[in-house]
Amino acid sequence: MRLRALAMAALTAGALTACGSGSGSGHTETVTMWTYPVIPDQAKHQAYWNEQVAAFEKANPTIHVKVEIYPWVKRDEALSTAIAGNKAPDVVYLIPDQIPKYARLIQPVDKYLSAPAKADYRDNARRAVTVDGAMMGAPILMSSNPLMCDKKAFDKAGVTTYPKTWDELMKLAPAFKAKGIDVTNYWADPSATLNQSFYPLLWQAGGDVFAPDGKSVAFAGPAGVKALTFLKQLVDGGYMEKDLLTGLPKFEQTHVAQNKVACTWQHVPADVESFWGKDNIKVFPPLNDAKQVAYGTVGALSMLKTSSKKAAAGKWIAFATRAEATKAYDVASSNFSPQKSTGSLYPNDPVQAAMEQTVGYTTAGPLNDKARDVMGVLAPEIQAALIGKKQPQQALADAAKAADALLKG
């Protein structure tokens, strides 16, 4: 998720109860859904769900839907507490790295979605929510972190070609350095997510975080070493901002915000538009090495097994995630559609249209219930390698030893 958007969203909290037409006397079941500030503007978010609930209740007069919007911060703690206290919602918005944690508590949604609805989903959207062949949520949005470059930085450096591969990025680095510009950036503080930093390089090198059976990690193999070595070469060559290796400065204090970074895969247009100017934002497919892949999340509506109104909740999920609804929701939140039938959402916005074209390259990463724990032991080792405390191979080997112990624990 976007760094700046997350900061704004974390401040947004609230709840809404949307009522349907009529007196309500005909309602026999209430379905409760928890969601979060996907649309950062609270009033617009409330208005969206008000409209959806009213339309649903008109078509389903015996079902009342209550949508509650909570802040992003501590959302897992709040949900876990609610589940433990038998106060969980019927439906909840989840992203892929949450799904494995709650998988045993999630009711698959396959039987509540029509065959055409399921066939309409992009393949990578379905994969992002599928565990053991079952859809653990109905996708409602997608995001993408492809390659984004600053035309102003290219103009200053006198560079006219944009990189498509790792090798091309590295070859351009000296020309940018000569003009006081970093060729790219990397947030190495352990609190920064690896989904948007190291993992895209690992995937592009042909590697993965976990072995196919999920019982051990695979990031310490040749692909992982290649990815971390590539980063280390960028650091050692003076081609990246070193302050980002050990801290999390305010965004406006970074080289990215100061037009001193050529290209990045760790930010999206919304992060930089006020600093770069929209005309300077150039969006491209992700960098290519052995593979061409980028990180992108998938937001989905999941049903909890504890729900006593599964049929009603299933109807609501099917309605709330139909293509017509996701199209409106995704435009309002500057995201992208998980469905093929919606077509282009941004025909008059060249930057968003370019971003939309990269959604097919994205993956949400591994669906493993220890994914966040593994990230917690891997991130410090990557940082250690980049600041020169360990060699890449040793850092990854040490991280793998700790991670495999977690998986066996």
- The full set of domains in the chain, from first to last, is 3-144+297-363 (3.40.190.10), 147-295+370-408 (3.40.190.10)
CA angle 287-131-198, nearest 5°? 25
The CA distance from 262 to 257, in Å, is: 11
The pLDDT of residue 26 is 53
Distance CA 36, CA 161 (A): 40
CA distance 128 to 365: 8
Owner of token pair 């590295």 = 170
> Which residue type occupies 239?
Y
Q: Which amino acid is at 38?
A: V
Tokens 């103009």 found at:
155
- For 18, 97, 137, 271, 395, the CA distances from 65, given in Å and listed in that order, are 7, 26, 18, 34, 50
Across the chain, which has 409 residues, the per-10-residue mean pLDDT values are 38 37 58 97 96 98 97 94 95 95 96 98 97 96 98 98 98 98 97 95 98 96 98 98 95 97 97 97 98 98 97 98 98 97 96 98 93 96 98 98 93
- Strand 29-35 and strand 91-94: the pairing is parallel
Distances (CA, A) of 214 to 18, 100, 176, 210, 237: 42, 12, 41, 5, 36
pLDDT at position 1: 40
Q: How remote is the C-alpha of 7 from its chain's centroid?
A: 15
Please identify which residue in the block is written with the tokens 């891997």. 378
Amino acid letter, 131 = V
Give the 3-state DSSP-derived string for 162-185, with helices as H, strands as E and coil as C: CCCEHHHHHHHHHHHHCCCCECCC
Rounded Cα distance, 273 and 311, in Å: 44
Rounded to whole angstroms, how far apart are CA atoms 38 and 45?
8
pLDDT of res. 168 = 98
Query: Residue 51's closest CA among 320, 322, 333, 338?
Result: 320
**Quick one: angle between helices 310-320 and 42-59, nearest 10?**
120
| Residues 206/289, Cβ–Cβ less than 8 Å | yes
pTM of the model: 0.90
Give the pLDDT confidence score for residue 366 in this predicted structure: 83
How many Cβ atoms are within 10 Å of 275's Cβ, its own excluded?
Answer: 16
